[in-house]
Amino acid sequence: MKDKYTFPAVFEREENQYCVNFPDLGCATFGDNLDEAMYMAKDLLEGYLWGLEDEGEKIPAATNPEDVKVTKGQFVVPITAHMVDIRNEMMNKSVNKNVTLPRWLNKIAEENKINFSQVLQSAIKERLNIRN
């Protein structure tokens, strides 16, 4: 896995927005103005590449921006994804889990203002011998 990827994005002004397409990846986004479109392109690229990594999929080679064919009104912008930052962010995101426990235990825990998430995290870390 590389720590940085740069892919060409094709931008095109359409009515009141900029459409952005990554031809090497087959994904697209848009923004109401150029700044927003640039932000959305980077966000999409990071999320898309992280998803490929997370699923064990191969990340395709990026086309040289100079070799991307565009039509009138389109322009190419190289967009860079810094994967170290996005990996850290995604791996530390909280996820929701359904937990089943007896009604009586739930009632007592709620009466005692037990934080179910904290207790579950602590128990799993203890079981896996993980120290903070």
User: Residue 32 in 3-state DSSP?
Assistant: coil
Q: Quick one: DSSP state of residue 17?
A: E
pLDDT of residue 72: 95
Sign of CA dihedral 2, 80, 65, 53: positive
Positive/negative CA dihedral, 30, 33, 38, 42 = negative
In whole angstroms, give the CA distance from residue 112 to residue 22: 52
The CATH architecture of the domain made up of 4-91 is 2-Layer Sandwich (3.30)
Of 27, 40, 32, 26, the closest CA to residue 13 belongs to: 32
Domain with CATH 3.30.160.250 in the chain: 4-91
Torsion, CA 95, CA 22, CA 62, CA 42, rounded to 10: -50
Q: What is the pLDDT of residue 132?
A: 73
Model confidence pLDDT, tens digit, residues 36-63: 999 999 999 999 999 999 999 999 999 9
CA distance 112 to 38: 49
C-alpha to C-alpha distances, 82 to 5, 20, 60, 85, 121, nearest whole angstrom: 7, 19, 16, 6, 29
Question: Which pLDDT tens digit goes with each residue over 87-105?
Answer: 999 988 999 999 999 999 9
